[in-house]
Every structure is written in C-alpha cells, then in structure tokens.
C-alpha cells in the first residue's frame, strides 16, 4: 500500500485550491453549447417520434397548415396580397386554401400526386388574382420529391409548380414582378435546400454503411485469425503428441520382444519410454501454459531448429527404426529463419513418425538435406511396404492430415512439398523444397 504524506498545521491558502468550474452557460463536458444541445435533443426526439408514428406526425403537420390556411381566410389576410382585379369569391378562396393544405397528408408517400392535385388550385389562384399564401405549401411536396426522386422527376415537379404563374405572367405582364419572381425564388431555395439535405443524408448513410462494413470485416478478420491460430495449435499438438506417442509405441513393442530374451535391453527400452514420455509431457505443458491467459509467465522454450535433427534421429533409432542422416553442400542453417528451420524439423519429424506408424516389414529410413545457394532440399525416404497408406487411405485419416499440415508449413514460406511412393523400389518419399531467406526480394 502506497504511503501518502500527511498535511499538518494550517489549511492550504485559498489560492492553492482547484480552479472553479466554467460557467454553466458556456459549454458542457462535450464542448457543445447548451442551447445547441437542447435544440439537437428536441430534433432527435421529433425524428424518433416520426419514426415510431409516421401517420400521427403527418396528420399533425397537415392539421397545422390547414388551420393556418383557414385562419388566413377568416381573418381576411389574403386580401392584403391579392391583386386589385381579384375576381375570386370567398367560398372559392376557402376551397383553394383547403386544396393546398389537406393533400399534405400524403406528401411523403405520394408527393407527385399531391403536387398534381394542387396544380388546378394554383392555376385558379393566380388566374383570379386571389394569390392566397397557402399556394406556397406546394413547395413542401416539391421538397419531398427532391429528397427521394430522380433529377428528371424534380425537373417535372418544378415545371408543374411554375407553369400556372408563367401562364398568368403571359396573360398579365404586371404579375411578373409580384408573383412569378417570388414563385421562382421560392422554388430555387427549396430545391437547393432539398439537395443539401439529401447530400448530407446520403453521406451519413454512406458513413454508417462503411462503419458496418468495417466492423464486419474486423469480425471476419478476427474469426480468420482465430481459425488460423487453432490450425497452428492443432498442427503443433499433432506433431508433438503424434511423434512422441509413435516413438513410445515402438519402444514398448521392442521392449516387450526383448523382455523374453534380453531383460537388460527391455530395461533400456523402459528408460527410453520414460524419457520420451517426460519430454512429451514437458512440451505439452509448455504449449498449454502459453495458451492460458491466467499464466502470463508460462515457460517458453525455443522451438526446435536444424540443430535438433540429430537428437530426433537418435530417438527414432531407439524406437526401432534405422535412420541414416545425410548432409550435402555447405550447411547454411544461419540463412534460414527460425520459422523455416522449424518447418524443416517438423516435416522430418512427421515423415519419420508416419514411417514408424504405418511401414510394415523390414524398414529403414534416410533423411537427406541438400543445401544450394538458393534453396534447402529435404528428402525423407523409407523402404517400408505399407507406407503408401499415409496419403488419403480410409483406414488412416490422421497421416493424411499430417501430410496436409506439412504442405501448409511449406506454403507459409513459399516452399513446396511432394509426397508419394517411390517409383521402383517400393517405399515412400517426401520431398521438401524451401527457399533461403536471403534469396527473397
């Protein structure tokens, strides 16, 4: 437990205290002004309500504009903007006001149909000189068309909106300054606003889609990495356990045979079995210790290298398989990375293990390593008559997995591996060709 110094004497001076918090009306913890935050929260609540109950929202908006249009009619406000030569009666003005407001109920589902329904009322409105302000409600379905439709449909909606006032402008030239220009400017503003909102919405949707795609790709990469790690662990455990169990089996069979004739050789076989078992158990514990998260200080030993081939061959010989190791060319183990050396070691180990497990009759094996300037060639052959079962036989699926694991190891470093029976003398061979690291570009 960490000791903290204690303060004694008088309390600290006032100037040593922490600075007071910023005023509440400047900014919140996120750096957003409170007024902006309040407005944004209100808009978010309105959007959420609209998503939950779109019909209720449409009815509320329609009722608001219908009441506003009727109040404009009852208060006589429409007369203040009407032309001097107005010929529309008051019932006709009320009918036009309702024709401009009530169809807004379908403004989002059928905006073009709403605009077509308003067009006759718009023509009558400007033709009679009433010029009721409710006619500007046509811009609401135009805005919806800009948000959702193609630009060709937007052009048709714009033409439908300005056609009545253009017709009146041709008939009455004095209407250009008062009506036509205001309609055109209102249309331009709404179209630009719709394009801006549509662009922002599409950009936001693209960002959301990209975020979802990146999240999916991240999860997919995590699954692929986990699968690759499981494959690597399975390959390592197959190489460790399979090889050591095969050696133990060979030693046990040899010891049982020697026990009847030479008890001393049987004792040596038992000692070898114990040593091999302890080594296998140690390697398995080390592998499992590394995998467990609750043991960060698990024992970690270097992976086998080409220097471990001689002890490997000795263990296989003790198990009863005569093995001859040949080296050609100048040994260049230092030119191979630890991963490449581990690949060569595991391939030799797996090949000898398969020979121990599946070769029948008098069998011997030869391991030949040939160093060139660019590659390391490893060739493992045996003289057993049953080794051909190591490739895809129905009664021996595990060796087929071992061959596949060897090919995967070779492919990690741009190497190749061929496995198959010897052409003339019988037996089995595995050929590994692995490029040296210093030859890679």
In this predicted structure, the answer to whether residue 208 has a pLDDT above a threshold of 70 is: yes
Q: What pLDDT, on the 0 to 100 scale, is given for residue 308?
A: 86
User: What is the average per-residue pLDDT within 268-297?
Assistant: 65
User: Dihedral through CA 405, CA 408, CA 412, CA 414, nearest 10?
Assistant: 130
Q: Tell me: the pLDDT tens digits for 214-229?
A: 888 888 888 887 777 6
Burial of 321 per CB tally in 10 Å (0-12, 13-18, 19+): buried
Per DSSP, what are the bridge partners of residue 439? none
Q: What is the distance between the alpha carbons of residues 241 and 164, in angstroms, rounded to a whole number?
A: 89
Q: What is the distance between the alpha carbons of residues 379 and 335, in angstroms, rounded to a whole number?
A: 19
**Mean of the per-residue pLDDT values of the chain:** 77
Structure token pair of residue 422? 């010897």
Q: Tell me: the pLDDT tens digits for 125-160?
A: 888 877 888 888 999 999 999 998 888 999 999 888
**CB 312: neighbour CB atoms within 10 A?**
19
From the list 308, 387, 295, 293, the residue with the least C-alpha distance to 342 is 308
User: What is the average per-residue pLDDT within 28-53?
Assistant: 77
In this predicted structure, the answer to whether residue 195 has a pLDDT above a threshold of 90 is: yes
In this predicted structure, the answer to whether residue 2 has a pLDDT above a threshold of 50 is: no
Q: How would DSSP label each residue in 389-422?
A: GGTT-TT-HHHHHHHHHHHHHHHHTT-EEEEEE-
Phi, psi of 439 (to 5 degrees): -95, -10
Give the pLDDT band of residue 203 (cuts 50, 70, 90).
very high
Kindly give the interhelix angle for 338-358 and 181-259, rounded to the nearest 10 degrees.
50
Q: What pLDDT, on the 0 to 100 scale, is given for residue 302?
A: 61
Q: What is the distance between the alpha carbons of residues 120 and 136, in angstroms, rounded to a whole number?
A: 14
Q: What pLDDT, on the 0 to 100 scale, is given for residue 30?
A: 47
Q: What pLDDT, on the 0 to 100 scale, is given for residue 288?
A: 65
**Percent of all residues in the chain with a pLDDT value above 70, rounded to a whole number:** 71
Kindly give the interhelix angle for 181-259 and 151-171, rounded to the nearest 10 degrees.
180
Q: What pLDDT, on the 0 to 100 scale, is given for residue 353?
A: 82
In this predicted structure, the answer to whether residue 296 has a pLDDT above a threshold of 70 is: no
Q: What pLDDT, on the 0 to 100 scale, is given for residue 317?
A: 84
Q: What pLDDT, on the 0 to 100 scale, is given for residue 189?
A: 93
The Cα-based distances of 366 to 177, 382, 417, 433 in angstroms read: 104, 6, 17, 16
User: What is the average per-residue pLDDT within 260-283?
Assistant: 69
What domains can be seen in the chain, in order of their start residue? 34-173 (no CATH), 222-439 (3.30.565.10)
Give the pLDDT band of residue 395 (cuts 50, 70, 90).
very low
């Amino acid at each position: 437990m960490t000791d903290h110094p204690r303060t004694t004497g008088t309390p600290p001076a006032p100037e040593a205290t922490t600075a007071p918090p910023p005023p509440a009306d400047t900014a919140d913890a996120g750096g957003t002004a409170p007024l902006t935050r309040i407005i944004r929260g209100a808009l978010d609540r309105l959007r959420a309500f609209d998503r939950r109950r779109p019909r209720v929202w449409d009815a509320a908006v329609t009722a608001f504009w219908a009441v506003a249009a009727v109040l404009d009619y009852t208060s006589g406000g429409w007369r203040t903007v009407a032309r001097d030569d107005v010929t529309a009666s008051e019932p006709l003005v009320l009918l036009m006001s309702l024709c401009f407001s009530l169809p807004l109920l379908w403004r989002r589902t059928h905006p073009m149909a709403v605009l077509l329904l308003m067009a006759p009322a718009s023509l009558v409105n400007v033709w009679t000189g009433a010029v009721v302000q409710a006619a500007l409600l046509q811009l609401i379905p135009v805005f919806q068309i800009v948000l959702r439709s193609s630009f060709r449909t937007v052009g048709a909606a714009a033409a439908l909106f300005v056609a009545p006032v253009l017709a009146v402008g041709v008939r009455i030239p004095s209407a250009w300054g008062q009506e036509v220009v205001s309609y055109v400017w209102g249309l331009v503003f709404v179209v630009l606003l719709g394009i801006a909102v549509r662009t922002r919405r599409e950009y936001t949707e693209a960002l959301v889609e990209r975020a979802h795609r990146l999240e999916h790709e991240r999860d997919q990469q995590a699954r692929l990495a986990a699968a690759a790690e499981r494959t690597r662990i399975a390959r390592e455990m197959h190489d460790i356990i399979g090889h050591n169990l095969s050696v133990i089996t060979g030693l046990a069979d040899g010891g049982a045979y020697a026990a009847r004739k030479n008890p001393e050789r049987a004792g040596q076989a038992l000692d070898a079995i114990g040593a091999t078992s302890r080594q296998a158990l140690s390697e398995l514990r080390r592998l499992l210790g590394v995998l467990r998260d609750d043991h960060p200080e698990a024992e970690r030993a270097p992976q086998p290298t080409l220097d471990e081939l001689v002890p490997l061959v000795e263990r296989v010989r003790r198990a009863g398989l005569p093995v001859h190791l040949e080296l050609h060319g100048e040994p260049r183990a230092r030119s191979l990375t630890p991963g490449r050396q581990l690949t060569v070691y595991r391939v030799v180990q797996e090949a000898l293990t398969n020979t121990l497990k599946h070769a029948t009759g008098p069998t011997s094996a030869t391991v030949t390593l040939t160093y060139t300037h660019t590659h390391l060639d490893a060739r493992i052959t045996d003289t057993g008559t049953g080794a051909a079962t190591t490739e895809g036989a129905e009664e021996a699926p595990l060796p087929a997995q071992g061959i596949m694991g060897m090919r995967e190891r070779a492919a990690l470093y741009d190497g190749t591996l061929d496995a198959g029976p010897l052409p003339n003398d019988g037996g089995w061979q595995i050929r590994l060709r692995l490029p040296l690291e210093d030859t890679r570009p």
